[in-house]
Amino acid sequence: MDQEILRFGLAAFVTLLVVVDPPGVVPLFVALTQDEPQRRTAILTRAVLIALGVALFFLVAGRTVLSYLGVTVHAFSISGGILLFVTAMPMLFGQRGGLQAPQSKERGSEDISVFPLAMPLLSGPGTIATILLLTSQAGNDTRKLGAIGVAIAIVFIVSFISLYLGSRLMKLLGEGGVHIATRVMGIVLAALAVQYVLNGITGYSRLLTGR
C-alpha cells in the first residue's frame, strides 16, 4: 500500500473515530443498559452490527446518491465540513455531538440496540455525512474506497471494545476524564471540518478558473 493510500486511510479512520466518539457513547450505553446488564453484550453486538451495516451501505451507495442529487464533490466538501463543525461545537463543551445525540423520546418497548444505540449514536447523520464526504474525495479510486471500508471496520471494532469495557472505562476515566476526551476529539474534529471547507472552496475556485 503506497503512502498516499495509507495517509488517506489514516485520515478517514481519525475522522470517523472522532465523529463516532466511542468515549462519549460509553456513559449513554451504560445508562441505557443499566436495567438489563445480563443482555449488555447481546445488545451491544446487535447495535454495532446494525451501525456497521448502515455505514457500509452509504460507503457503497454514497457516490450514487451524490450523482443522483447532482451534488459536486466540492459542494459536498463544504457542506460536509460545516456539518462536522456543527457536530464538533457541543463536543468542545464536553457534551455529545449534536448530530449524534439521541432525541428525547420514551423508550417504551423499543429495541435500544436499534434506537438510539445503532442510530443515531453510532451511525447517525454525522457518521453518514462523513462517509459520503470521504467517498466523494475518493472518487473512482477503488483503493481509497477500500481504505475507507477498512477504516469503518476498525472504528466499529474500537467502538465495540470501548462499549464492552464501558463500566470499567467509566471507573477508570471518571466523568471528568470522559469530558476531557470528548473535548479533545471536538478540537480535532473542528480542525478537520475547517480543512474540508477550505479544500472545497479551493477546488471549486480552480474549477471556475480552469486551473
pLDDT in tens, 30-49: 877 877 778 889 999 999 99
CA distance 100 to 151: 19
Long-range CB pairs of 173-178, under 8 A, 24+ apart, other chains included: 173/23, 175/27, 178/23, 178/24, 178/26, 178/27
What pLDDT, on the 0 to 100 scale, is given for residue 92?
80
What pLDDT, on the 0 to 100 scale, is given for residue 99?
47
Amino acid at 168: R
What pLDDT, on the 0 to 100 scale, is given for residue 1?
59
Q: With a cut of 70, which residues of the chain have pLDDT below it?
A: 1, 94-110, 175, 178, 211
